[in-house]
Structure 1
Amino acid sequence: MKRFRMVLSALMLTVVYVSVLAQVDPMSPVPNDESVRSGVLENGMTYYIKSNQEPKERASFYIIQNVGALLEEDNQNGLAHFLEHMAFNGTEHFPDKGIIDFLERHGVAFGENINAYTSQNQTVYNLSDVPVNKPGILDSCLLVLNDWSNYLLLTEEEIDAERGVIKEEWRTRRTAQFRMYSASMKYLYPNSKFAERDVIGDLDVIENFEYDVLRDFYHKWYRTDLQAIAMAGDFDAEEMEKKVVDLFSKIPAVENAPERPFYEIPDQDAPVYGLVTDVEAPQAMIQYMIRHRKTDDGPETFMGHRERYIHQLFNAMMNQRFQELVQKGDPPFVVGMVNYGDFERGYEALQALAIPKPNQEEQGFTALMTELERVKRYGFTQGELDRSKAEILAQWEKYYKERDKISNEEHINAYVDNFLDGDAYPSTEFGYQAVQVILPTISLN
């Protein structure tokens, strides 16, 4: 009887969800997970806190900076990435290598669980899989995020020492793949600042910038209104929120702060073609792309949520065709794939890629474009659509059944996307019910 009541309750919940979703305004925002404690402090800093018991006695802590290489002036080319390195070389409460030394004493390894990355639009720092069963470790991790927000020391000695580290990284990155990517940026991002910032930067700038040039970049852009902290783990979310509000509210907001610009990739009047070669390239690769601005740059709406499933279905059906060609036919490529989705902030793109067989580059490109044109003219079959829908639904059923096993990183990645791009982070329950309503509304038309 108890099991019957549980099943009946779950069925009633499904009916309620479906009923609500069927009547919702398509332009209304997708609701975020109410179990996440989130807010914006008076100084402008955003926070996300999620209690999660998988794995036990572990937690992860992130600080998300809406700051990347695009914000650099020409004499700062590479300094967003340089600044990321400096966050591990002395802060107010952890001088020298204090952050790394402290956390490694508690079993948190640098590079594996203590890390960061810089891209053109953002910089994200993380402390992952931290054992939180020891006294004071939670407070110490919050203090690290606090220092990363506003209290880097940036001493001359540490800056000079890091120049050599960055120079070596610059050299080791100059692989054929990286060289070809750098050379292709003017074609991928024509007439845009994206083409001028490869993140690692200009070696001459790295070797010779004056100390205050780095400090100026830091003080101008590392500020609370462009920052979010996100944490998930085996802790009491209510108590954690109190700690966060108490500690991070003390960070002063920057007065008269400059507006954080949005960087466009201008439309061109005609298709752009580029050929990039390198003597060390292991194989040829062909890429075709159609880029456009997103139609909705605000918070994710129900219509936008449905659009994501349309993209997912298109990608699944298109790539299934390429797989069948490789497995059953004799195409002039060894790999063919398509992805329609997010490109850069504010942009989406259809990207098709093929790795042709040796000396069959022209045939590989023709075959790639033929499959795209075939879909454009004739579309997909009902069987292809039904199969892809069933696969998505099966994935969601598995995800829903294992919702108690979702990792801290997976939770936090959703908050990163919310802060930077406005993507919603609905509960797993909501997402599972939503997909059951949305998929039947998507037809071949």
Structure 2
Amino acid sequence: MKLNYLLVSACIAFTIAACSPKMADQKMGTNAQSPAIPIDSSVNIGKLPNGLTYYIRKNVEPKKRAELYLVNKVGSIVENDDQQGLAHFTEHMAFNGTKDFPKNELVSYLQKAGVRFGADLNAYTGFNQTVYQLPLPTDSTAVFEKGFDILANWAGYVSFDDKEIDQERGVIVEEDRQRGKNAQERMSKQLLPVLLANSKYAERIPIGKVEILQSFKYETIKQFYKDWYRPDLQAVIAVGDFDVKQVENLIKQNFSDLKNPANPRKREKYSIPANEQPLVKIITDPEFPYNIAAITYKHAEEVETNEEQLKTKIMTGLINTMLGARLTEIVQKGNAPFIFAQSNYGAFQGGLVDLDAFNSIAVSKDAKGLEAALSAVLAENVRMKKFGFTQSELDRAKTNLQTGIDKQFKEKDKTKSAAFVQQYVENFLKGEAIPSLDYVHQFYTQNLSKLSLEAINQLAATFVTDNNLVAIVQAPEKEKENLPSEEGLLSWVKNAGANVTPYVDNAVTKPLMATKPKAGSVTAEKKVDAIGVTELTLSNGIKVVLKPTDFKNDQIIFAATSKGGTSLASDADFRSAEMASQLVSSSGISEFDEIQLGKLLTGKVASVNPYISTYREGMSGSASPKDLETALQLANLYFTMPRKDDKVLKTALEEMRTVLSNRLTQPTAVYQDTATAVLNSYKARAQQVKIEELNQINLDKAISFYKERFANAGDFTFTFVGNFKVEEIKPLLATYLGSLPANTNKENFKDLGLEPIKGAITKKVYKGLEDKATVTLVYHGNYNYSDQNNLQLDALKAILDIKITERLREKESGVYSPGVGVSYNDEPKGNYSMSIYFSCATANVDKLIAAAVDEVSKLQQNGATAEDIQKFKAEEKRQLELQVRENGFWLGYLQDAYTTGKNPADILTYEKTLDQVSVASTKATANQYLKSSDFIKLILLPEKK
């Protein structure tokens, strides 16, 4: 239960700035005469006579694939008053009919080519841009060439059929409902005028106004398209495994006929005004779960185009790293006045507008502690401004940054096309430099060591300014009386850090493992040549599965697993056992606490994370090949020398109490808790921990349980995938894994009966203030786990997903993004569930549930259509082509194969098994698994008034 994750899931309105930030001109006095950053020669940049820009780059990762993008310098900021929301609406209409693809034919055509709607084919609209993305296979000439026709259709030939416009109104209203109608939206409406300083940005939120979306005239959106979708504001980006000259010809053929208006509207550039006086806002909401204070210092945006600016970017990154480490250290030491904190310099509001900012955020356990929490965070800003950083801090930050740049450079020939696309998008929209990886690596390597502590401290001192301050507090409504006034909040900011002293850095000089353990040996070896796998058995019984690959140059990933998990804990000790792996992971290892361990691993690319789930325990890890020994040492120590730290438990419990104290005010949390209870037959072990249960968590019991689960390494299976040679890795495995304590016992898990309630169940939860409902429909039952049955369920899920989207979104216009999920397991016994989920207006709940059940009934009566089966097979084949070139896929696949006892070489025949999916098989599967006899309806509705 990590708070930073929960903050994200709660969709806090205040956006933390992104990493890799940019500094402002006013700070550094950027030298305009500095050498320009050279453009990567591997990208072909051109412009058609009509003004359309294009970027073309050949890149073979992933193989036989291309990323095609259409980028428009058009977003909500250019809308007229009566067009608010129509930039986004236009994006939707591009998928609802163009000159060459009437109605929904475009989506259907691409699905039959294996392109997934939403996951692959997608688009987004912001204040200043609308971007369409179209990943395509290049080994099908017809499909690939058709992709450029599709981009051109979006660029200039969207149909805007009146009926389709009316049909889409409901979809976009539902998008607004799905993403909003909550505490975040209510608070955002109060925050944005402050954050955006009453600029035009505050009046042009991309989703627009519901009343306009529901009533605008057809000609209004058509005029928006005519005014703004024009070649002088557009770029085509193509990166992938193709012939560059052919692509350039395809762009010329498809886009040269696009014309600009005779009297084009001027594309104005808007900004957010500076503020001499602080902008302050304190807001509450009854459903908001946290007490948060956020301080922002706005700065002018700087777009990196020359080398001095790039140096500033490097220094800013180093400062962010060092400041972040100090805040983390405060938490790790225990007794921190905040439960979450962050300070960094980056893009204001995540880059949505053209500003940079220095942001600080503090989260306290309650409103009374907010002053201490914010003051502690701001004190670190003051400490940085007054005294700067130490040389040892800077040395570590430089080492880690150089390690990261070296790793990126080692992978330069394995860089995914999508990474290049994002650079070109920024170049077109903002003029951001696009240097080659060779240049970047050389520049960092040559300049990183030359950046002095004095220069970096000088830069850090400019982050906090006397103007452009924005101060915000967000809190639950029940805390209203304990919150400061606006003047009080500003006094906190003014007085923070008055008595700070210089930071003292305690370095670590000891090695992670002073003495190597006595090595075991490899006692058996078996080759599975068909898939390039080697199976080893070590002298202590550990089984090791090895798959060397060339998918990444600088990556080895691994995992270990064994049966047992928290299922073997007693009821009395369960809550302690549930926390065991989290406490160990946060406590360091051996004699090193987490702070010391982080410093000790400076410059290393090696990490290991132990876990204990309900039915298994194990660990996951990753390393650069050069640091694999370090990763294996970590793995060894997590088995043999887990560390106990009272401060870690105290911090974790404070964090959990904060989260749980306001959990019942959040509609989605109450709904999730109810769903969890129903889907696990109300068994206590599956349910969310309660505040009163926190007192049951005992550190000694937790550590003791952890040690029990990792006491016998002999029943673990380790899987390694990545860039290594089997013969070279064997001695390391024998040393660090073969030496682990083991015995001949083979443990199993205990069946806890965590399965859904039998029968036809309807459970309604009434929580929330607004007209918003969430629906989950669950079919479930016992299951004979096998590859054949799994395939049929996967097919049914994919096909039902298509039908639910077509019916609930396209036909009923009642939802935005419905979905279908499937899960099947053989642990602790065979079971499956298939769920249909969506959000909608409360008035439409019954109608849409009936529509969803009707689609299920049609599948039971008729089976899937041949066209939908074709879409499923095409997607599976295309995804498999990509997956078999990914280390992560092989790690998961091999781990599953060896723990379930199936033949790992079956992957080679998977594509052939797709022939088993037919109209008849989908009909039979629907009738077997989608039974109304074991059917659960979970419905979240607003509170009754």
Fold shared per TM-score above 0.5: yes
Kindly indicate whether residue 328 of structure 2 is the aligned counterpart of residue 327 of structure 1. Answer: no
Q: Distance in 1 between matches of 2:364 and 2:204?
A: 29
Letter of the 1:382 partner, please give it: Q
Q: Distance in 2 between matches of 1:353 and 1:123?
A: 30
The counterpart of 1:157, out of the listed 139, 163, 168, is 163
- Cα deviation, 1:16-61, whole Å, max 9, x if unaligned, reads xxxxxxxx99523211110111111111111111111111111111
Q: 1:355 maps to which residue?
A: 363
Q: 1:318 maps to which residue?
A: 323
- Cα deviation, 1:328-364, whole Å, max 9, x if unaligned, reads 1322212211221222544211111222223422211
Q: 1:369 maps to which residue?
A: 378
Secondary structure of 1:273 counterpart: strand
Deviation at 1:276, TM superposition (A): 2.1
The counterpart of 1:436, out of the listed 424, 442, 445, is 445
The counterpart of 1:336, out of the listed 329, 336, 341, is 341
Kindly indicate whether residue 391 of structure 2 is the aligned counterpart of residue 382 of structure 1. Answer: yes
Kindly indicate whether residue 418 of structure 2 is the aligned counterpart of residue 406 of structure 1. Answer: no
Q: Distance in 2 between matches of 1:50 and 1:282?
A: 47
- Cα deviation, 1:241-298, whole Å, max 9, x if unaligned, reads 122123211211233212211111111120111112211112122211111223x55x
Q: 2:73 maps to which residue?
A: 66
The counterpart of 1:122, out of the listed 112, 120, 129, is 129
Letter of the 1:342 partner, please give it: A
Kindly indicate whether residue 178 of structure 2 is the aligned counterpart of residue 169 of structure 1. Answer: no
Identical aligned pairs, as a percentage?
A: 39
Q: 1:210 maps to which residue?
A: 217
Q: 1:305 maps to which residue?
A: 310
Q: 2:138 maps to which residue?
A: 132
The counterpart of 2:249, out of the listed 233, 236, 242, is 242
What count of residue pairs does the alignment treat as equivalent?
419
Q: Distance in 2 between matches of 1:39 and 1:212?
A: 34
Letter of the 1:171 partner, please give it: R
Does the 8 A contact of 2:230 with 2:258 survive in 1?
no
Does the 8 A contact of 2:98 with 2:154 survive in 1?
yes
Letter of the 1:349 partner, please give it: A
Does the 8 A contact of 1:25 with 1:302 survive in 2?
no
Q: Distance in 1 between matches of 2:344 and 2:125?
A: 24
Of structures 1 and 2, the one with the larger relative CO (CA 8 A, separation 6+) is 1
Q: Distance in 2 between matches of 1:438 and 1:71?
A: 41
Secondary structure of 1:110 counterpart: coil
Q: 1:148 maps to which residue?
A: 154
TM-score by length of 2: 0.43
Q: Distance in 2 between matches of 1:327 and 1:239?
A: 56
Letter of the 1:214 partner, please give it: I
Does the 8 A contact of 1:50 with 1:233 survive in 2?
yes
- Cα deviation, 1:205-247, whole Å, max 9, x if unaligned, reads 0111111111111111111111111111111112211221232
Q: Distance in 2 between matches of 1:223 and 1:322?
A: 48
Q: Distance in 1 between matches of 2:236 and 2:291?
A: 42
Kindly indicate whether residue 105 of structure 2 is the aligned counterpart of residue 98 of structure 1. Answer: yes
Q: Distance in 2 between matches of 1:371 and 1:26?
A: 35
Letter of the 2:414 partner, please give it: K
Letter of the 1:86 partner, please give it: M
Q: How large is the Cα RMSD of the aligned pairs?
A: 1.6
Q: Distance in 2 between matches of 1:71 and 1:210?
A: 18
Gaps of 5+ in 2: 1-30, 455-945
Gaps of 5+ in 1: 1-23
Letter of the 1:167 partner, please give it: V
Q: Distance in 2 between matches of 1:312 and 1:181?
A: 29
Q: Which has the larger radius of gyration?
A: 2
Mean CA deviation greater in 140-149 or 186-195: 186-195
Kindly indicate whether residue 229 of structure 2 is the aligned counterpart of residue 229 of structure 1. Answer: no
Letter of the 1:152 partner, please give it: V
Q: 1:14 maps to which residue?
A: none
Does the 8 A contact of 1:182 with 1:198 survive in 2?
no
Kindly indicate whether residue 425 of structure 2 is the aligned counterpart of residue 416 of structure 1. Answer: yes
Secondary structure of 1:280 counterpart: coil
Q: Distance in 2 between matches of 1:179 and 1:40?
A: 44
Does the 8 A contact of 1:77 with 1:201 survive in 2?
yes
Secondary structure of 2:141 counterpart: coil
The counterpart of 1:394, out of the listed 384, 403, 413, is 403
Q: 1:43 maps to which residue?
A: 50
Does the 8 A contact of 2:199 with 2:271 survive in 1?
yes
Deviation at 1:365, TM superposition (A): 1.3
Kindly indicate whether residue 276 of structure 2 is the aligned counterpart of residue 254 of structure 1. Answer: no
The counterpart of 2:35, out of the listed 28, 32, 35, is 28
Does the 8 A contact of 1:81 with 1:200 survive in 2?
yes
Q: Distance in 1 between matches of 2:354 and 2:315?
A: 18
Letter of the 2:143 partner, please give it: I
- Cα deviation, 1:85-141, whole Å, max 9, x if unaligned, reads 11100011111012101100011010100101111111111012x222113111111
Kindly indicate whether residue 199 of structure 2 is the aligned counterpart of residue 188 of structure 1. Answer: no
Q: 1:8 maps to which residue?
A: none
- Cα deviation, 1:307-330, whole Å, max 9, x if unaligned, reads 111211111111111111111132
Secondary structure of 1:230 counterpart: strand
Q: Distance in 2 between matches of 1:284 and 1:83?
A: 38
Letter of the 1:337 partner, please give it: Q
Give the direction of change, closer, same or farther, for the CA distance of 1:215–1:59 in structure 2 (3 Å limit): same
User: Where in structure 2 are the equivalents of 1:286-297 lying within 5 Å?
Assistant: 286-294=293-301, 296=302
Q: Distance in 1 between matches of 2:266 and 2:392?
A: 50
Does the 8 A contact of 2:137 with 2:144 survive in 1?
no
Q: Distance in 1 between matches of 2:347 and 2:194?
A: 18
Deviation at 1:370, TM superposition (A): 1.0
Mean CA deviation greater in 62-71 or 341-350: 341-350
Q: Distance in 2 between matches of 1:342 and 1:28?
A: 24
Secondary structure of 1:56 counterpart: coil
Q: Distance in 1 between matches of 2:279 and 2:134?
A: 42
The 4+ residue runs of structure 1 with deviation greater than 6 A are none
Letter of the 2:168 partner, please give it: E
Does the 8 A contact of 2:187 with 2:284 survive in 1?
yes
Secondary structure of 1:53 counterpart: coil
Does the 8 A contact of 1:92 with 1:147 survive in 2?
yes
Mean CA deviation greater in 341-350 or 76-85: 341-350
Q: Distance in 2 between matches of 1:83 and 1:310?
A: 41
Letter of the 1:112 partner, please give it: A
- Cα deviation, 1:145-192, whole Å, max 9, x if unaligned, reads 111111100111111000010111111222322332332111111131
